[in-house]
Structure 1
């Protein structure tokens, strides 16, 4: 692409974003932002490079030499545990001629060898040597030609994150108020969580922002798109009753939503059975975290930009099996304009019985697995929205409504006495979390590098 074309595309993106920013103040979006090649390229540079990206969980690489291959946007990274036991995130590119060095999605290795010319690296990224090294490379400074590391790596309750910019907020600073809510969930048990099975991967023709904003605060769609899950008993909380909860703008574009009953005489704890609640160390929680956890039924959220999670009790077989709590954690990895690869992990607390872990996994697979009752529903409108966003007339003219809960539209109001982090609204008939997500999106996209 020549310099003039780049300038034209940059001007086009700038115009789209500035128009979007103006519209968003009125609770309006343009469908064209959901499937645009130039926006997608800008997102890779400005959204995914500069933010903290989830890579793996430490229970996926428990032993020295363990590794998994993961991605940030269109870059591949090796997440591994070195001989010293340290967790590293290393770009999967040989510095000799640019070939990939990792030949499997997971494994265990003390070294990585490029298949092209045989450059060999220790699993901490150091260059060890190459075939005929004395004749070919005698005098080369090997310290300068090791593998490239992600500039920053941090671990939060076993969840491994990487950021591709050397400077900027720490992970905890970036998480803002969301860290308080995640800390509440992950601290219920001293041992924390572990991954159940392998992460599921599948591709859907949807823009990543649709999925992220959905988990950010779109509880409203349950009443229509997922109505059948209540009709057949998979979800046993009446869908309108489920809206009696809170949307919380947790700062920095993060959104979290709770269906809770703070007045309940019986402790709820996401409906974990009593024998599991007995494994919780409630001393790990602050007084306020305990109050919220005790009254929580359902929790769903999105960590900006593209990490979503959900904890709730569901039944895989309503006639024969009671609801079992599950925890799904997923990344909406953009792989092209209007296309994402879904990475979907299931977790459970380590110090629970193997029988309970199997029950939770079965509940998760049958509802939020690749062929789950919920999972099959969502791509239908998401893919339609993405396809429609490509339309020539629609891209120029079609505005979308994101006004629920603002300007006295609907029943939701800001909770003035909210005693937890963030800005909360009750009930969940509102779209403030989505608007909060897009405001952060615009901040990143319009920021001068």
Structure 2
């Protein structure tokens, strides 16, 4: 492949310009992007090596020495809590002979010892020593240059992100206006959220981008793909078309719902667009119908963490689905557990690429630390029933993604396109409190197309040399 790095347009191995796979005027994307090894390698180099990626939640590593093994693209990494309490993300590859250093999914340790030749590293990635070091390495080992490669790490709302680009944009720049919404989804109470159990992981025979772009805000598919759920009376998906879309930097959010009408108390209303003046009334509404996963008692903690504008947004739009570029979903919703009881859904999804034709679907359940145990159990069951490995949502979506992927391998079909032609102009609802480019009341293809524009921009930028990072 050539181009971009030497000033020429990026071309695939057969000479096809990368730009030929996108048509901004027609708003189409070639199906070839789903099943091409050259494209996949470009994604590893230019998307997954330079973009902020979700690694885990701070509650997964509460104590010094705690760790979990994850991936950034196809690079294995370790997320640890250092002895000083700082989260670290480092390449899980020994600097001696390339062996996997840590082969456990999770645990607590003071050091990591490579199982091949026994090189030892600290929980912050520093090289600590090697067997027979004095005898075998007579010139001495420059341990300061032999630590595990460190990623740049930042956190927001309890989420740990990392990137290999030590000189690129900050996490705040990457999240853009979606950071404001993540706070009201994930950072609402004094004790905060915690992950329940280990993530569910399963392989989907599809390209990761089909999940990534859908998670940015595809409401259109729900009425058809998930119609069986509506037929059973679990949910009315037409409501997804009449909420609000928020787009920022390729990240997208779907906002659904209006709870005031569901509260049978005409004395408790939101009379103005002034969120500060409405604060007491808004809190009273939220006590009567708490946001998913919260109790009336926990509602009183909201002002400790959220602005009046964020709290009013929880009143007008309590159900939110946020897609973070390139491959992450944060899902707070109301659903049903396996017994048909109404319950909250609180999940994080990640589509981890495994070559151009498959990805690992990783999914976490979250609950408020301060919630009663029966509520935590209800959330876990409802979240798994909807979004787990056999969940009614994920079975439907995986069926669609895998069929599209199968078709993209065909000689004729791979010349086809994904189309994003339902157009709308930015429209801000009266009284809307949040930032970002908004589309309402009818949500169309704008969020997904903005995701693809971010993807195209990232994929066509020159590759910078790998940065070793701090040791």
Q: How much does 1:343 deviate?
A: 0.9
More moved, 320-329 vs 92-101: 320-329
> Do residues 340 (structure 1) and 354 (structure 2) align?
no
Match of 1:403 in 2: 421
Does the CA-based 8 Å contact 1:65-1:109 persist in structure 2? yes
Partner SS for 2:396:
coil
Q: Matches of 1:177 and 1:24 in 2, distance apart?
A: 24
Does the CA-based 8 Å contact 2:215-2:328 persist in structure 1? no
> Do residues 80 (structure 1) and 80 (structure 2) align?
yes
Q: Matches of 2:400 and 2:439 in 1, distance apart?
A: 26
Match of 2:274 in 1: none
Q: Kindly provide the CA deviation profile for residues 317-336 of structure 1, in whole angstroms up to 9, marking residues without a partner as x.
A: 4xx55311121101111110
Match of 2:19 in 1: 18
Figure out how many residues of one structure are paired with residues of the other and give that number. 435
Match of 1:446 in 2: 460
More moved, 328-337 vs 221-230: 221-230
Query: Over the residues paired in the alignment, what is the CA RMSD in angstroms?
Result: 2.5
Match of 2:157 in 1: 157
Does the CA-based 8 Å contact 1:186-1:193 persist in structure 2? yes
Match of 1:409 in 2: none
Structure-1-length-normalised TM-score: 0.90
Does the CA-based 8 Å contact 1:150-1:162 persist in structure 2? no
Match of 2:222 in 1: 222
Does the CA-based 8 Å contact 1:270-1:313 persist in structure 2? no
Q: How much does 1:209 deviate?
A: 1.0
Match of 2:37 in 1: 37
Q: Matches of 2:407 and 2:174 in 1, distance apart?
A: 33
Question: Which residue of 292, 297, 302 maps to 2:323?
Answer: 302
Question: Which residue of 428, 453, 461 maps to 1:415?
Answer: 428
Partner SS for 1:355:
helix
Structure-2-length-normalised TM-score: 0.86
Does the CA-based 8 Å contact 2:185-2:332 persist in structure 1? no
Match of 1:187 in 2: 187
Does the CA-based 8 Å contact 1:208-1:340 persist in structure 2? yes
Q: Matches of 2:107 and 2:132 in 1, distance apart?
A: 28
Q: 1:202 to 1:94 in 2, by over 3 A?
A: same
Q: Matches of 1:48 and 1:113 in 2, distance apart?
A: 27
Q: Kindly provide the CA deviation profile for residues 397-437 of structure 1, in whole angstroms up to 9, marking residues without a partner as x.
A: x133211134xxxxx86337554211111134401000000
Question: Which residue of 247, 259, 282 maps to 2:256?
Answer: 259
Unaligned ranges ≥5, structure 1 = 407-411
Q: Kindly provide the CA deviation profile for residues 84-136 of structure 1, in whole angstroms up to 9, marking residues without a partner as x.
A: 22211121111111111112111111111112211122222222222222210
Partner SS for 2:380:
helix
Q: Matches of 1:262 and 1:373 in 2, distance apart?
A: 25
> Do residues 389 (structure 1) and 408 (structure 2) align?
yes
More moved, 284-293 vs 267-276: 267-276
Unaligned ranges ≥5, structure 2 = 262-268, 270-284, 464-471
Q: How much does 1:301 deviate?
A: 1.9
Does the CA-based 8 Å contact 1:279-1:351 persist in structure 2? no
Does the CA-based 8 Å contact 2:245-2:254 persist in structure 1? yes
Does the CA-based 8 Å contact 1:288-1:420 persist in structure 2? yes
